[in-house]
Structure 1
């Protein structure tokens, strides 16, 4: 059941504030509005069933996916925060599919719905088209955990391509295997092959159009592959605060669930008509317990309805 956030921080208010930060079309996504739809296949590993009985992850299937850049308008004046990249994908068939939403940082920018709404409101542009710097400083000083994501991005410059980027789903998902054993995992999507090193003309300022051009060129030349990894949880891991990582998370035991193979560019209408909804999880992967996931589940439904 979706919890009702307090202090007026409803999913509807969050969607409305995200839209207030943009100058895009009313039919555009409230966040990660600029992107490219692709398609391909998913090949499960022989260890997937150790982690989950979900047919989305244990059976081969087609893949619908979308690479994107954060924001309703990625070039919004005054947006000084580093820009995230996104990779959303759907695995499985019409009866047993899962939508996984990942991003190029392992943490979120807010811990609660109320904090998320306040974070966004502090960034709504004023009459000059820019957020109020005094309001931003005051909010950050009172909510230091909301700086964790930007700090991570500043310390880890992005590669030149969507195809060379590592992506995370920031939530802890309960996964149940065929033996009935449940443990928490985090999804991590890792490019197959040598990851390109960041260069001076990459990172957050690279025009979104060039990222899409690069993606199309790579797919025209060959397929693009990612390993879908499950980072295994431990007793005592923080499950409710998505602004922090698990202890020693980068050195945890991981299991490769399978390989995502991107083989072709798809018409963007295919991704627009079939919105990636975090509520879509096939049996064997449960809903994360944190408040931000609950808000996102509801917000995606609201946002899609308003776009229509």
Structure 2
């Protein structure tokens, strides 16, 4: 896959332009059509893999909450000494063999599962870019279909060029540099959807999650990243965890009344108050990571008391789109 000028660490848009996809993909409903077009843009479907964030690794550890977390929400994992955590780090796109240094491998992802009892859990799904290119599933599908019609033979300006010119949030998502981190453990992740926290007294606050590396962020220059092995981030994590944990702070950014809680394309100001919810300490790569990936279906709407969804249409659409993806990768 060749690198496109101006497509430094971008998204599926560059995958499609580099791969030459050139036809709109239709399906019976918006969520299935999203999965269809993601598979086509990735040159798939790739058997046994997700339609997006196909390349991943599953690890385990614990979450230790702060007292401030319990004051903000009555969720059980915020009110225990510690709870087990399952996490999956991933690269973007549905290309399972994409080198980690490829600009299209970002934004990267982390999905977290907090096991607050033996059989009950709640999930968080986040990416390494603070924001989303679209406010609704329909807009996101329009974005991807514009990409799919913008192969090398498309007339100028191409459909994706016209789309980005008319949609500044999508243009910012695509053009913002997203360098490769030295490790998954040195990358920040952001929940682009809002949730409502409810504490034991019934007080309610809307929040967005931030997952911030305890060691701080650290990135690699593009020219240096290009010389690294294709699986550098995954190999680095496997080598790191036996000797030292990957640690993150789970943070809640608190909304003010004027902040949009139903549009992930609009980022809340950095001046908003944040609350440290606790520390995520990841220590072990699961023995059969590939098998665990096939079985796991993270779902940000698997919630518990003390956490409620916002009416963000992207958030509400995620479980159905994920279901289409897992059904396909589970087929023999």
Q: TM-score range by the shorter chain?
A: 0.7 to 0.9
Per the alignment, residue 270 of structure 1 pairs with 292
Are residue 138 (structure 1) and residue 162 (structure 2) matched?
Answer: yes
Query: Offset of 1:297 from its aligned partner?
Result: 2.1
- Contact 2:89/2:108 (CA < 8 Å) preserved in 1? yes
Are residue 193 (structure 1) and residue 215 (structure 2) matched?
Answer: yes
| Paired residues for 1:1-308 under 5 Å | 10-24=30-44, 25-59=46-80, 60-73=82-95, 75=98, 83-92=106-115, 93-124=117-148, 134-151=158-175, 153-154=176-177, 157-201=179-223, 209-246=231-268, 248=269, 250-266=270-286, 267-268=288-289, 269-308=291-330
1:57-80: CA deviation from partner (whole Å, max 9, x where unpaired): 33221111111001001649xx97
Query: Offset of 1:251 from its aligned partner?
Result: 2.6
- The DSSP-based 3-state class of the residue aligned with 1:299 is helix
1:197-235: CA deviation from partner (whole Å, max 9, x where unpaired): 543446799765111111112112211110100111111
CA–CA distance in structure 2, aligned partners of residues 111 and 214 of structure 1? 35
- The DSSP-based 3-state class of the residue aligned with 1:272 is helix
Query: Offset of 1:94 from its aligned partner?
Result: 4.3
- The DSSP-based 3-state class of the residue aligned with 2:299 is coil
- The DSSP-based 3-state class of the residue aligned with 2:181 is coil
Distance 1:165 1:127, change over 3 A: closer
TM-score, structure 1 length as denominator? 0.87
CA–CA distance in structure 2, aligned partners of residues 13 and 307 of structure 1? 16
- The DSSP-based 3-state class of the residue aligned with 1:111 is coil
Size of the alignment, in residue pairs? 296
**Which segments of 5 or more consecutive residues in structure 2 lack a partner in the other structure?**
1-26
- The DSSP-based 3-state class of the residue aligned with 1:123 is helix
1:179-199: CA deviation from partner (whole Å, max 9, x where unpaired): 111110010001112432543
Per the alignment, residue 3 of structure 1 pairs with none
CA–CA distance in structure 2, aligned partners of residues 208 and 283 of structure 1? 42
Higher RCO (CA-CA < 8 Å; seq separation 6+): 1
- The DSSP-based 3-state class of the residue aligned with 1:13 is helix
CA–CA distance in structure 2, aligned partners of residues 183 and 235 of structure 1? 10
1:84-143: CA deviation from partner (whole Å, max 9, x where unpaired): 110111012344411100110110111111111011112237787999971211221232
- The DSSP-based 3-state class of the residue aligned with 1:117 is helix
